[in-house]
Amino acid sequence: MQMPIVREGKGWVTIPEMLVRSAAECGDAISMQMRRGKRWEKFSYRELLDIVQRLAAFLKKKGFKKGDHISVIGENRPEWCMSYLAIQWIGGVVVPLDPKLTKTELKHIIYEGDVKAVFASERFLDVIQEIADELDTLELVISMDPTNGDLNDIPAILEEVKSGIPHEDVSLDDLAVILYTSGTTGVSKGVMLTQKNIASNIDAMYQVFIFSVGDTFFSVLPIHHVFEATAGFLNPINAGSTIVFARSLKSRVLREDMTAVRPTFLLVVPLLLEKIYEGILREVRKAALPKRMLFNALLGTSRVLNPILGQKRASKALLKSVRAKLGLDKMRYIVSGGAALPRWVSKGLEDLGFPILQGYGLSETAPVLTVNPPCCPRNASVGLPLPGVQIKIIEPNIEGIGEIAAKGPNVMIGYYKNEKATKAAFTDDGWFLTGDLGYFDADGYLYITGRKKSVIVTKGGKNIYPEEVEEILLQSPFIEEVLVLMGANPHTGEPELQAIVYPNFDKLDEYFAKEGIQSPDETHIRRVIAEEIKRLSESLAPYKRPKRFSLRYEEFPKTTTRKIKRYLFEQAVTEI
C-alpha cells in the first residue's frame, strides 16, 4: 500500500522563503521557547524573522556571502536555530558541528569543510577560539552568549544592528547543509544536502502528519543531527508550530519541562524511550500495593479492549493519568528513529497508550525515507515510504532480504570533496545504496534486518543478522548492551557465533540481594547471563544462537549517535 496522505503539501520552498511564509501566516504565534531560570523566554514568528534578518545583516557586513561555509555548535536552544537560519538567509552553507567531538575532530571538520566562521555557545568558545588561532581559514567566531565585548556575540549584535536585510536569491538546487557523519566504520564523510533535499522531506512529512499552529514539538535530540534538524526544527517552523527546547536530559528537569508545556509531538531515539518506559515501571514498583493493583488491572483491561476498539483507544482512556504525570497526556505523535526500537519497549509503551511510530532514514536522505502512518502503524516495521520517495530491495535472497536502495528528491547530491565515496554510494542508474538490509511485507511495509557490512554468513551458507540476535538478547533486564559477532571456538578453532555482554549491574545487584547472595563474583554474574542467553535464544533458529560469550565491565565505545563501533570488535571471543 502507499503512504496515506492526510492533506496537501505546502509546496517546496527554500529555507529563507519558508521562514518568510511562516512569519506572514503565523506572525504572533510562538515559534520557539525555552525555560531560563524561573521564566520562559519566547519568540514569536515575527520576532524570529526580525532577529534572523539582523544577524544576517551582521554577517553581510563582515563580508560573508552566498556559498560561504559557516558552522554552528552548541546545545539545543533558540540561538542555535537563529544562527542556522541567518546563515541560510545570506545563502550560506551550514556545517553543523557535533558538540561531543574532540578538538582534533572539530578542527579536521572545520578545515576539510572550508568553514570560514563559527557560531558557538559559551561552553565551546574556548576550543573554537583555539582552533581559530591555529587555522587562518577560520575568520570569525561569534558567541551565542554575552562576552562583555571580548568577542562578537549575538546579544551585542542585536543591540548594534537595528534593521535587517532581504534574503539572498537562493534556489532549490543550491547547497544548504554539509553534515559530517559519525559512522560505525570510523570514517566521517561530509553529506551535501541541497535546499530541495530538505524542502521535499519537510513537505512530505507535512502531508503525512497533522500539526500546525498550536502544536508543540519538544526538542530533546541533538539538533546538529539531521533527524532533529529537519524533523524537529525546520518541520515545525514550516507548519507554524512551537518548538520547546529541553533544558537538560535529566529525568527531573525533563519532567518539569514536559509537564509545563504538555507537548504534542516528540522525536526520540530508542534509548530515550527505554528510559521513559523503565521510569514508568520503576514508579509503579515503588507505589503502594493498592495503586500497583489498580495499574495492573487497568493495563490488563486495556490490552483486552484495544483489539476491539482499535487505535489503542482503551489504553489512551484508561491510563491517561500515567501519561499526565509525565506531561505526555496531550502527545499525539512519538516518532522513533536512528536505531531499531526493541519490541518489548514499543509494545509496553503502546499498551500504556503512547502513540509510538517508528521511522527510518539516513543523513544522506535528509533524513526520512519511511515512517509508520499514524492511521495504521506496524511497529515491528519502519513503515511506508514518504510521498515522493522510492525504495527497492537490491538482490533479495530467498527470504526477500537484500540491500535497501532509495531514490527521491531528498537524496543527497554527494559527499563533499569525495568523488570516490559518492560514486560508491550510488548504482549506475542512480539508486542510493543505504548499506542497510531489509525486506517488504505483502503490504509494502519495510523491515530492517541489519547492516550489510555486519551480516554473518555461516559455513552452511546461512545469513545471520547480528542486530536481530542483539534485539532478542536485549530483552533481558540483566543485559545492558550486547554485541554479536563471529568468533573462533578456542578449543577447535572452528568459527561460531559469539556475544560480548555489558551487564546491567544495577539489575544484577537487585537480583542477588533478592536471592540472598552476598558478595557475588564473576561466576555468579556469568551464570545469570548464561541462563538469560539460553532462555532468550530459544526463540531463534539454532544457527542464530550464540555459543559463547564474554563479559565487559564498561560500556562499549560508541559514535556520537550512540551506536556501537563494531569495527573495534572484530577479534574472536575466547572466554568460555
CATH number, domain containing residue 474 = 3.30.300.30
Classify burial at 547, counting beta carbons within 10 Å of its beta carbon; exposed 0-12, middle 13-18, buried 19 or more: middle
Residue finishing a domain among 430, 452, 474:
452
Residue ranges of the alpha helices (H) in 211-288?
226, 235-239, 251-261, 270-286
Q: What is the pLDDT of residues 185-222, one digit of tens each?
A: 456 799 999 999 999 999 999 999 999 999 999 999 99
Residue 549 located in a structural domain:
yes
Q: Is residue 213 part of a domain?
A: no
Within-domain flag for 222: no
Average pLDDT across the chain, whole number: 90
The C-alpha cell that represents 545 in the structure block:
544462537
The number of domains in the chain is 3
Residue 244 lies in a domain: no
**285 and 192 inside one domain:** no
Please state, in angstroms and rounded to a whole number, the distance separating the CA atoms of residues 227 and 233.
Answer: 9
Same domain as 315, residue 366: yes
Residues 344, 416, single domain; the answer is: yes
> pLDDT digits over 108-125, tens only?
999 999 999 999 999 999
Q: Is residue 259 part of a domain?
A: no
Q: What is the pLDDT of residue 298?
A: 58
From 427, 452, 477, the end of a domain falls on: 452
pLDDT for res 567 = 76
Say how many Å lie between the first and final Cα of the chain, rounded.
48
Per the structure block, which three cell numbers stand in for 31?
515559534
Separation between Cα atoms, residue 50 and residue 86, nearest integer Å: 10
Residue 291, pLDDT score: 62
Per-residue pLDDT tens for 129-179?
999 999 999 999 999 999 987 789 999 999 999 999 999 999 999 999 999
Domain co-membership, 465 together with 332: no
pLDDT at 572: 41
Indicate whether 410 and 486 sit together in one domain: no
Report the SS3 class of residue 272: helix
What CATH number is associated with residue 350? Answer: 3.40.50.12780
pLDDT tens, residue by residue, 237-291 = 999 999 999 999 888 898 899 999 999 999 998 888 888 877 777 776 766 666 6
Q: Note whether 169 and 180 are same-domain residues.
A: yes
Range of the domain at 49: 15-199+229-236
**Residue 574 pLDDT > 50:** no
What pLDDT was estimated at residue 318?
Answer: 44
Please work out, in degrees rounded to the nearest 5, the angle formed at the alpha carbon of residue 415 by the alpha carbons of 412 and 416. Answer: 120
Q: Are residues 416 and 473 in the same domain?
A: no
Residues 180 and 320 placed together within one structural domain of the fold: no
Least trusted range by pLDDT, from 228-232, 456-460, 493-497, 516-520? 456-460
